[in-house]
Amino acid sequence: MAHNRRAFLRAIGAGGIGAVAIGSTVTATASNALATADITIEGAGTDIWNETDECHYYFTDVSGEFDAVVRVDDVADTDEYAKGGLLFRESLAGDAKNVLIRNTPGHDTSVQWRPETGGASTSLTSDAGESESEISGGTMTANYQRLVRSGDAILAYGSTDGSAWTLMAELTSDAIDLAESGYLGLAVTSHNSGTLCTASFSNLSGVAPSSNQDIGAVEVAGSVSTSGGDTDPIVSTGSASNVTNTSATLNGALGGLGGASSANVFFEYRESGASWTATDVQTLTTTDSFSQDVSGLSSGADYEFRAMTDASDGDSATGSINAFTASEDGGGSSGGSYFDGEDGFASTAWLDDSTQVVTVTEPTRSAVENAFHTSGPRVIVFETSGTIDLGGETLRITEDNCWVAGQTAPSPGITFISGMVQVDADNCVVQHIRSRIGPGPDGNIQGNDSLNTQDETVNNVIDHCTASWGVDECMSVGYDTDETTYSNNLIYEGLYDPYGDGSDHNYCTLIGDGADHVALLGNVWAKARSRIPRLKSDTRTVVANNFCYFFDEATNTDGSAETTWVGNKYTGVTATGESIVEGSGTVYGEDNITADPPIDSDVPFVEEGTTDSKPLWPDDLTAMPSTDVEGHNLTYAGARPADRTENDQRIVREITDRAGNDRLDSEYDYWLPDHDAVGGYPSLPENTHSLSVPSSGLRDWLEQWALSVEEASANPP
């Protein structure tokens, strides 16, 4: 039942609403004319609720009383609790006190608020907030929202026509004690992590938003655009790209001209705590992205920047502040992992802005296979996440010049099960996907890797992928291949005796006969008996900065193999009296260590009879110290290391805790559906989002997506 705390009429005063009967329906008009602009906001985030918020916010700063009105035209159904509406909040921090009028796809209009910074949220439909409701049940059907501040009270109204208003709640300082100043505008959350919700608004009045930004640690950056009407322009700050120790490219977007014929756009940037410096001005006559190179940066310094616009009608807007760090002198990444796919012998120079982009919109074998088999240079991007069952059959990339960008998928990304993923083409890159094969239906062992390159392929990169539960090996390099780089991968738990016939194939990585210019950089091998890696005849390899946990027999080198080992760390079990790298091959070793427990002091990491010079080494490659390898690799190895699924989290946790099966000498059944510790093949949620592929800067765009799933603090482009 709606309560009636005060049965008298109350005048709102400076808010501009006439006499309003508390708890009743009256006719009133806003204090200024309703704007005619259409506003579209895309926002991701888990919710505006609980102790902290994730959303996209289009806002301005306000002080004192206000009276804001908007029509909510649509909120996309990314979840029944996706939300869009007028939001007042004390600060831009995720845990700020706030009041929101919410329209959702699955429920009527209602009001919610967070009464204390960092505290729990409540609403008119919650037990803790229902006493504040002026309407029965705490909800009503409303297309229009109105949020008013008068004195120390926040009043929330709903309407079907923008004329007759019904008071939903009057929140005094007893309910929420808000500061005099704060931020007012429109917010959208998808309530579906990694998915953008599109909400459309019109007839906004009483507030003129001039900035927009994501609130909280959203996984996909939001945006704002407008059309029609006389509003302020809209500008959004993007991410920095091409960051070196002295320079960077700043990126932004003009989302609306606010009715003006043109707008000048530029950036302001500064070393943190210093004064702002403005870049050169560019003039745009349509909404578009823009960028500007800046130079003269200080190596290793932290920088802030923001996009700015001045429209030809005199209005201006400022984007949110983003940050980046200039690289340290001497190389290394400005974010993400130490290695990238070109630190080995392979080249990705074939990718340019003319490369076609093929979009996968559903998590099915056929959808991905069509993309893998498309002819011509292409980048494959994903607007869906999910588990893709390969049905026991190999999924092959069969056409050259293919870049599989798993980092573009919404959280939690793409996982292939029950079938091998194979690169059967030249000039390919595969990033940020997982493959968990498990036993095939025919009982075959040979060739059933989780992920590999086919024989006689050239110039391929497998970077930041997860390969586990293989039957032959988990991730291997084909025979007679050339220029192959495996970097930053998480390779673990090959299956021991998967068919119950005593077949021991608990292996990690095999380098096939004749494979040349193979670089294994920054990978993690875990919980396997051997082939970590196996270097077969006539192979030439570089094995640098890899980390291994739990093994029996580690690495075998055939007599004609040549290999360079630098900065690797191995932990766990090793056969007594044997070296890590054994066999009769030619091996150069430098800065390789063991720990937990270390091998005997009289047993070398590399067996006797090796060489004092590197048989092979990529140009310009500098290895990390071996003491840094474990921390780095456990942070960055595998698919989407900032967005790991449970099995990848488990293996990293077991390594960190030095836990788990120590010898792997019994039937290994982690893949089984009823396994208590793991739960069988994963079933990932099928989240979706829309990708906006730039007309230029495709490589930088892919790198920013990669960084966003490698660094928890990074946002996608």
470-480 pLDDT per residue, tens:
888 999 999 99
The single-letter code of the amino acid at 43 is: G
Q: Which domains are present in the chain?
A: 9-227 (2.60.120.200), 234-325 (2.60.40.10), 356-698 (2.160.20.10)
Q: What is the pLDDT of residues 314-367, one digit of tens each?
A: 988 888 888 888 866 433 344 678 998 899 999 999 999 999 999 999 999 999
Using pLDDT thresholds of 50, 70 and 90, give the confidence band for residue 561.
Answer: very high
pLDDT top residue among 444 and 232:
232
4 has pLDDT over 60:
no
Write out the DSSP string of 84-104: EEEEEESSSSTT--EEEEEB-
**Residue-level pLDDT at 517:** 98
pLDDT confidence band for 35 (50 / 70 / 90): low
Per-residue pLDDT at 668: 40
The rounded distance, in Å, linking the Cα atoms of 473 and 452 is 9
Q: Percentage of the chain with pLDDT > 90? A: 62
pLDDT interval class at 438 (50, 70, 90): confident
Q: pTM (2 decimals)? A: 0.61
**pLDDT, mean of residues 116-133:** 96
Per-residue pLDDT tens for 357-373?
999 999 999 999 999 99
Token pair listed for 301: 């310094």
Among 275-289, 322-336, 378-392, 502-516, name the one with the lowest average pLDDT.
322-336
* pLDDT level of residue 442 (50, 70, 90 thresholds): low
Residue-level pLDDT at 654: 86
Q: Residue 649's pLDDT is what?
A: 94
**String of b and e for 524-538 (b: at least 16 CB within 10 Å)?**
bbbbbbbbbbbbbeb
Q: For residue 667, is pLDDT > 50?
A: no
Average pLDDT over residues 428-453: 84
What is residue 298's DSSP assignment? Answer: P
Q: Is the pLDDT at 42 greater than 70, yes or no?
A: yes
For position 600, what pLDDT does the model report?
55
Does residue 93 surpass a pLDDT of 80? yes
- Which one, of 548, 480, 538, lies nearest residue 509 by Cα? 548
228 versus 25: the higher-pLDDT residue is: 228
| Phi/psi-derived region of residue 706, left when phi > 0, alpha when psi is between -120 and 50, beta in every other case | alpha
Burial of 274 (0-12, 13-18, 19+ CB in 10 A): exposed
β-strand pairing of 322-325 with 302-311: antiparallel
pLDDT of residue 268: 96
List strands edge to edge, sheet with 288-294.
234-241, 248-256, 288-294
Question: pLDDT-based confidence at 89, cuts 50/70/90?
Answer: very high
Residue 447: what pLDDT? 65
Q: Which residue has the higher pLDDT, 585 or 324?
A: 585
Three-state SS at 683: coil
**Is pLDDT above 90 for 580?**
no
| pLDDT, position 3 | 28
Q: Residue 236's pLDDT band (boundaries 50, 70, 90)?
A: confident
* pLDDT tops 80 at residue 121: yes
Sheet holding 421-423, edge to edge: 395-397, 421-423, 451-453, 475-476
Taking a C-beta distance cutoff of 8 angstroms, is the pair 268, 232 a contact? Answer: no
pLDDT at 62: 96
Q: Among 242-256, 302-316, 427-441, 601-615, which is the least confidently predicted range?
A: 601-615
Q: Which residue has the higher pLDDT, 563 or 225?
A: 563
Q: What is the mean pLDDT of the chain?
A: 86
562 neighbors 588 (Cβ within 8 angstroms): no
HSE on the CB side for 584, CA within 13 Å? 5
What is the pLDDT averaged over residues 427-451? Answer: 83
pLDDT band at 196, cuts 50/70/90?
Answer: very high
Mean pLDDT across the stretch 424-443?
A: 88
